[in-house]
Amino acid sequence: MAVTVEISGESYRTADNYLIKQQNGAISLSNIDILVLPGQAVPQSMESVQIIFDSVPQFFGIIESVDSPDFSSGYEVRRYRLSLQSGEVIFKWRLVAESYVGKYTHEIIADLFTNYIDPEGIDLGAIATTTRYYEEYNVSYMDLYSVLQELCDDINGAFYISADKKFYFQTSQEFTVVDMP
């Protein structure tokens, strides 16, 4: 299985150590070791990362920190450990100030996507149709993550960014159910 790490558009080879977690509706923390070859830039915090297994995206996130190897002779392998946060972390960095009158949850989510998520380069995956209706819904300078979480809590739903950089908003009826043997 070929594993590639793309950091801000540049491909890096992986080392043999990685732990990737993805949680629906929550920011997950992952780690991966990469090899920086001669001529490649050392990754920096806040760069976007996409981990690809056999040309299929498996993870999208942002670099939280980069641990540098200890250098003593100059002949060490340039192996860096990246601490990654899943893509949903970008929602923590955007403040929302909106007012809605006579809207369903999915209409509010669609507007939030257009105004705050789409400009981040995230495509629309799907927004589930909901039955929760708001006579008035006001948000005064809350981070987008908290707004999305509040709307999810009201309908027992979840949101996430997929590995191929698409935004999804689901109701609990759309969750994948796995039957136990």
Instruction: Summarize pLDDT for 107-132 with one digit per residue, the tens.
Output: 999 999 999 999 999 999 999 999 99
What is the crossing angle of helices 144-155 and 105-112, to 10°? Answer: 160
Give the Cα separation of 4 and 12 in Å (integer): 6
Instruction: Summarize pLDDT for 7-26 with one digit per residue, the tens.
Output: 988 988 887 776 676 666 67
Across residues 48-52, what is the average pLDDT?
89
User: How much is the pLDDT for 32?
Assistant: 86
User: How much is the pLDDT for 21?
Assistant: 66
User: How much is the pLDDT for 78?
Assistant: 79
- Token output for 131: 């039955």
Q: Judging by DSSP bridges, how do beta strands 157-161 and 123-127 pair with one another?
A: unpaired
Q: Is the pLDDT of residue 178 over 80?
A: no
Q: Is the pLDDT of residue 176 over 80?
A: no
pLDDT, averaged across the chain: 86
On whether the CB atoms of residues 40 and 104 are closer than 8 A, the answer is: no
Q: Which residue has the tokens 């629309």?
A: 124
CA dihedral 126→131→135→136, nearest 10 degrees, is: -30
Burial of 121 (0-12, 13-18, 19+ CB in 10 A): exposed
User: How much is the pLDDT for 46?
Assistant: 92
Across residues 137-161, what is the average pLDDT?
93
Burial of 168 (0-12, 13-18, 19+ CB in 10 A): middle
pTM, two decimal places: 0.82
Of 19-28, 74-83, 128-137, least confident by mean pLDDT is 19-28
Across residues 138-148, what is the average pLDDT?
94
Per the model's pLDDT, the better-predicted residue between 134 and 67 turns out to be 134
